[in-house]
Structure 1
Amino acid sequence: MKEKALKQLDNTSQQLLNVLSGFSPAQLNTVPFEGSWTPAQVADHILKSQSGVPELFDGSIMPADRLPDQKIQALRELFLNFSYKMKSPDFILPTNNNLEKNALIDQIKEKSKQIEEAIIKYDLTEICLDFELPGFGTLTRLELIYFIFFHTQRHIYQLETIYQKFNN
């Protein structure tokens, strides 16, 4: 379970870093089309969505009364359905300020390291009680980790679409 999660973390983080690295400094803070975020804003949103997750693992927990991966498939189906448009909660909306690529890359690497340490340190089968994902309720640590993967993969797809827009 942990090995698979660590491998998925590495793959997802590398994909994100690779696509983000492809943007020029000018493209990074440019809106590619109406209604879109800039690539920097997408990265900022991803970071904000991940902030606090490892800390949640230290919060109130309880033993799972169900399979610890029970909600993973539903999370996958929702977040990897690219035809379904979502609205971000206000608390993870990106900044409107210009952001620097190397700083974003460093922050992504640091957050990935924190998540890796959390995967290694904690029992992933326990339910975190301090946060409820709308439509899903409380999640196990394992499900929270996969939420991060699927949410990030959704935005990697968005970044790839933006990259194509800029480079075609």
Structure 2
Amino acid sequence: MELQEINQKLTETRDELLGILHGLGGNQLNNRKDSSSWSISQICQHLIKTEELYVLAIRKGLKSKEDSFIENKPLEFLLDRSNKLEAPDIAKPTDEILEIKEIIEKLNNSREKLYEILNTIEDPSVLSRRHFAHPVFKEMLLIEWVRSLYLHEQRHIKQISEIIDGFE
């Protein structure tokens, strides 16, 4: 999958997320189904933290001068919500109550940082030749890091929709 195509998916997915968020009130944002589940606000915090961590990983991976010869990972499993994944502690949200405006601002900032790094890459094929170790998925090509971001976000959009359906 080419970077341009991935960028399109990133944009579409983020637009979908923001569209959902714009329709929510403060209670919907911060209510939790139970003590072991995340609120919509916390899911968004997790998405922001994840994107910021991915930017750091991509930056580090780009510093490498060695070509990687690792296979692309199938990442579609990220969309399967029946497959429970535990977020690494570093990407877990806090209990901080955030207003919708603040969440959207932070989502925009993390995406801006991603695009800043991607737009500095002269030869996008370098993303398919460099890798960096992911805490959960191990060795991943940088292009897979970028691609997994929108799949990860789509997974959490499904989760947010499930939470909203529970409000009705």
SS at match of 1:16: helix
Structure 2 counterparts to residues 12-161 of structure 1, below 5 A: 12-33=13-34, 35-59=36-60, 60-61=63-64, 62-66=66-70, 70-71=72-73, 74-77=74-77, 79-122=78-121, 123-129=126-132, 131-134=133-136, 136-161=137-162
Structure 1 or 2: larger helix share? 2
Query: What code does the residue aligned with 1:76 have?
Result: E
Change (3 A) 1:33 1:58: closer
Change (3 A) 1:92 1:66: closer
Output one character per residue of 1:140-161: Cα deviation in whole Å (capped at 9) or x when no partner: 1110011111111110100011
Distance in 2 (alpha carbons) for counterparts of 1:90 and 1:31: 19
Shift of 1:104: 0.6
**% identity of equivalent residues:** 24
Query: What code does the residue aligned with 2:76 have?
Result: R
TM-score norm. by structure 1 comes to 0.85
TM-score norm. by structure 2 comes to 0.85
SS at match of 2:75: helix
Distance in 2 (alpha carbons) for counterparts of 1:88 and 1:53: 14
CA contact (8 A) 1:31 1:38 kept: yes
SS at match of 1:17: helix
Q: Provide the aligned length of Structure 1 versus Structure 2.
A: 160
Distance in 2 (alpha carbons) for counterparts of 1:8 and 1:118: 17
SS at match of 1:58: helix
Unaligned runs of 5+ in 2: none
CA contact (8 A) 1:45 1:93 kept: yes
Unaligned runs of 5+ in 1: none
